[in-house]
A and B are shown apart, each in its own frame.
Chain A
Amino acid sequence: EPEVTQTPSHQVTQMGQEVILRCVPISNHLYFYWYRQILGQKVEFLVSFYNNEISEKSEIFDDQFSVERPDGSNFTLKIRSTKLEDSAMYFCASSAGDTQYFGPGTRLTVL
């Protein structure tokens, strides 16, 4: 069964550095999402992407964040200048319409 994959599984970075989190959605899906979960807190929506543009974004998704689908398979989340409070689990999801399928997550640790 096809699955969403994410790399790396764990990323450690210094505050102020740029990070790129990568996702490979399920191949025939058209809608892509990023969510994050700070330790002990809820899973929170960041952004959705469809037809090569952002469909929705939350208040969390400020100018430090950007998303891109650079080729036919990858979907990336870039954090330009990481802050301590960006430490979280980042989940990518994709859907063909209704059900969203989640990747295993990338744990980002900002030191």
Chain B
Amino acid sequence: AQRVTQPEKLLSVFKGAPVELKCNYSYSGSPELFWYVQYSRQRLQLLLRHISRESIKGFTADLNKGETSFHLKKPFAQEEDSAMYYCALRGKGGSARQLTFGSGTQLTVLP
């Protein structure tokens, strides 16, 4: 069974401070990991995929297979980063594959 755990329901940081949103997963194999973000009153949007190893809006995430983690990091948080962040996993094999989501972390960046 595949599972995604986001241990922090709420996270507050001050503007300019570093931020790390934790994500751990359970999957017997090599999964694909994603971070989705949902800004207030907007739809879920893809932020990052581990495959592309890119930085979006200053955020990065590294897949650590040994620790089964995919933590999301940003060195200097901005107020506009305040949103709900979901970590998601997709198993290998075929294209029409379901995403398994974590419970989400509500990030608030304080001025």
Contact = CB atoms under 8 A, between A and B. Distances in A.
Interface of A: 3-4, 31, 33, 35, 41-45, 48-50, 55-56, 58, 91, 95, 97-105
B49 A43 contact: no
Interface of B: 32, 36, 42-46, 49, 51, 86, 94-104
Nearest to B102: A42
A103 B51 CA distance: 23
16 contacts: A31-B95, A31-B96, A43-B44, A43-B104, A55-B96, A56-B97, A56-B98, A91-B43, A91-B44, A98-B32, A98-B51, A98-B95, A99-B46, A102-B43, A104-B42, A105-B43
Nearest to A51: B96
Contact of B95 (A45, A58, A97): A97
Nearest to B101: A43
Contact of A43 (B42, B45, B51, B86): B86
B44 A102 contact: yes
A42 B103 contact: yes
Contacts, number: 56
Q: Is the interface of B mostly helix, strand, loop or mixed?
A: loop
B101 A56 contact: no
Nearest to A6: B43
B101 A98 contact: no
Q: Is the interface of A mostly helix, strand, loop or mixed?
A: strand
A16 to B, nearest CB: 29
A50 B98 CA distance: 12
A98 B49 contact: yes
Most chain A CB within a 10 A radius of its CB, from B43, B94, B96, B102: B96
